[in-house]
Amino acid sequence: MEMTVERVNDFDSYNWLPLLAKSSQEGFQFIEYMLRNRRDETFQETGEALFIVLSPMGQPIACGGYTKQPHEASTGRIRHVYVLPEARSKGVGTSLLEKMIREAFLSYDRLVLFSDAADGFYRRLGFVPASGEKVTHALDKSSFVNP
């Protein structure tokens, strides 16, 4: 699928409504949370980034980012990953995560995330089950195969 993965420098430059509406319909509240807190969680600090995936028409079809994992200097946290249902199984999520992972590993030695809905997807990218407070998966830099 043709797409562009961009780093978000200004939340207000994008139409988040499609991602917000669909994620809410599916019962995922994290996109709403991200947008509601965008003034506090800017993803602009060192070791943080937010990405958006745009269709050839410039419409948002996916997003995701990474931040610092509190109290773990060498660990980053994958957050707010969402792909519109109609864009799933077309390589959108994989392209997004590969870009995020490559960039995050410039700052971190380990990445963690919490997901109760996408175990298979994250395992295909090399994440393994992990435990911790709001942690279900982890990926070590040494085990990441850069595509």
Delineate the domains of the chain, giving CATH numbers in brackets: 4-113 (3.40.630.30)
3-state secondary structure of 26: coil
Contact between 11 and 40 under an 8 Å Cβ cutoff? The reply is: no
User: What percentage of the chain exceeds 70 in pLDDT?
Assistant: 98
* 33-91 confidence digits (pLDDT tens): 999 998 888 898 999 999 999 999 999 999 999 999 989 999 999 999 999 999 999 99
Match 């870009």 to its residue by tokens: 99
Tell me the C-alpha distance between 145 and 129, whole Å: 18
- Per-residue pLDDT tens for 90-145? 999 999 999 999 999 999 999 999 998 899 999 999 999 998 889 999 999 998 86
Q: Cβ atoms within 10 A of the Cβ of 19, count?
A: 26
Identity of the amino acid at 4: T
Provide the whole-model pTM.
0.92
114 close to 136: Cβ distance less than 8 angstroms:
yes
